[in-house]
């Protein structure tokens, strides 16, 4: 049995290096499926006889395996690696060197934590019964890299993972603690594109046109009744139109207007209801304005559902490795989406929230920078979870 004091000693020893690793990743943010420099850096940092690295499944992913000294189960630990198309405004010495891109969601911190965890577990590998799968996944923010990686057979790799865990830095959770709760904690996120088709004409002669701008404006407001009047008020759901495009001149009624947005919900059964009601609402509005429409509705991210047994284990592990203040019950559900959901469709597991502080710049903002004070807690949490799972 590995003593927590020994693990804490290793973590404290490597922590200065982990901080520098985090800063180095922060300088080179890359968006979905462009994470080539990032992936190359991860491979260099993991290059060790004790970590077997696989060829990439998606070009920019990095998958490694730490084998223990004796046979046993396999646990998967995952970090996302992509950045956001945001112009950073932190003013930090390690700020982004890639214009228009920034690690504004903390994935630089997640990568550094998983590399630190790998450092710890590699040192302890001789005493482990089983193995640890390390997954550095691209395209979490866009394009659902998790779906793609699972679709490429990640969860069927031998030895097969029997559980999966991940962390995400979270504003509002105290530094030094993690939080988690069972059930659906993050929403499904589907995308839709609506094309409202009318008949263009002169702005001075609207009666000779079929104005898709007016129709599209009414569609935006009418779509809000899908949630407010067709879904149980006790069942969370949100439908947002986030982009409108139509017309090229101030005095010309266009032929068409395009609307794009997302639908989010926690229950899988909601997808069919929302899709059907959208068709009904859009058709009615367009018919009243002499327009027609096309609706492209694409299922995106599944709801992220934490498994109760994994959450219970995480709580016990936090108590053991982080101490009495290491577990926070601050874990409200969010309508944000997370493609770690697709891992949890395959095996039991959970995504934990890692405390970044109760007063901190919000995720996805230009002023966000991962809190280095949370790195130690993250490494202890993931290493502790792996050690506890393999010792069962």
Question: Which are the catalytic amino acids?
Answer: 82, 140
For the record, the structure tokens of 205 come out as 């002669």
On the CB side of 223, CA atoms within 13 Å amount to 28
DSSP secondary structure code for residue 153 in this structure: T
Q: Which tokens in the block code for residue 150?
A: 């699972």
What residues are paired with 305 via a beta bridge? Answer: 184
Six token digits for residue 28: 């080179």
CA distance 102 to 144: 19
How many C-alpha atoms does 322 have within 13 Å on its Cβ side?
31
Q: Give whole-number Cα distances, 242 to 38, 77, 213, 237, 269, in Å.
A: 30, 34, 16, 16, 24
Residue 349: strand, helix, or coil: strand
Helix (H) or strand (E) holding 191: strand 188-197
Apex 385 CA angle, 382 and 387, nearest 5:
110
Strand order of the sheet with strand 292-301?
237-245, 256-265, 188-197, 292-301
| 211 CA to centre of own chain | 39
């Amino acid at each position: 049995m590995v003593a927590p004091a020994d693990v804490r000693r290793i973590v404290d020893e490597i922590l200065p290096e982990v901080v520098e690793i985090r800063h180095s990743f922060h300088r080179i943010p890359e968006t979905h499926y462009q994470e080539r420099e990032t992936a190359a850096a991860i491979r260099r940092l993991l290059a060790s006889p004790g970590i077997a690295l696989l060829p990439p499944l998606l070009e920019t992913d990095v998958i490694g395996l730490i084998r223990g000294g004796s046979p046993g189960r396999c646990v998967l630990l995952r970090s996302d690696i992509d950045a956001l198309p945001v112009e950073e405004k932190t003013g930090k010495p390690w700020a982004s060197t890639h214009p228009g891109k920034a690690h504004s969601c903390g994935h630089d911190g997640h990568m550094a934590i998983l590399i630190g965890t790998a450092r710890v577990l590699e040192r302890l590998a001789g005493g482990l019964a089983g193995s640890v799968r390390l997954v550095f996944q691209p395209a979490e923010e866009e394009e659902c890299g998790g779906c793609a990686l699972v679709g490429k057979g990640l969860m069927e790799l031998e030895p097969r993972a029997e559980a999966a865990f991940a962390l995400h830095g979270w504003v509002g959770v105290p530094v030094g603690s993690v939080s988690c709760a069972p059930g659906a904690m993050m929403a499904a996120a589907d995308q839709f594109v609506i094309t409202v088709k009318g008949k263009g004409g002169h702005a001075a002669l609207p009666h000779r046109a079929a104005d898709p701008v007016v129709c599209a404006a009414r569609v935006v407001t009418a779509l809000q009744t899908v949630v407010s009047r067709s879904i149980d008020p006790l069942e969370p759901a949100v439908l947002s139109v986030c982009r409108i495009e139509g017309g090229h001149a101030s005095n010309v009624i266009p032929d068409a207007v395009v609307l794009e947005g997302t639908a989010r919900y926690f229950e899988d059964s909601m997808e069919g209801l929302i899709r059907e009601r959208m068709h009904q609402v859009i058709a009615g509005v367009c018919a009243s304005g002499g327009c027609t429409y096309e609706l492209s509705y694409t299922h995106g991210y599944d709801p992220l559902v934490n498994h109760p047994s994994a959450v219970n284990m995480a709580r016990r592990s936090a108590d053991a490795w982080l101490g009495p203040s290491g577990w926070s019950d601050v874990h409200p559900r969010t309508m944000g989406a997370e493609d770690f959901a697709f891992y949890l469709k395959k095996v039991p597991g959970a995504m934990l929230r890692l405390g970044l502080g109760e007063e901190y710049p919000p995720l996805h903002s230009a002023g966000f920078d991962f809190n280095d004070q949370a790195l130690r807690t993250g490494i202890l949490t993931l290493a502790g979870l792996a050690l506890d799972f393999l010792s069962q």
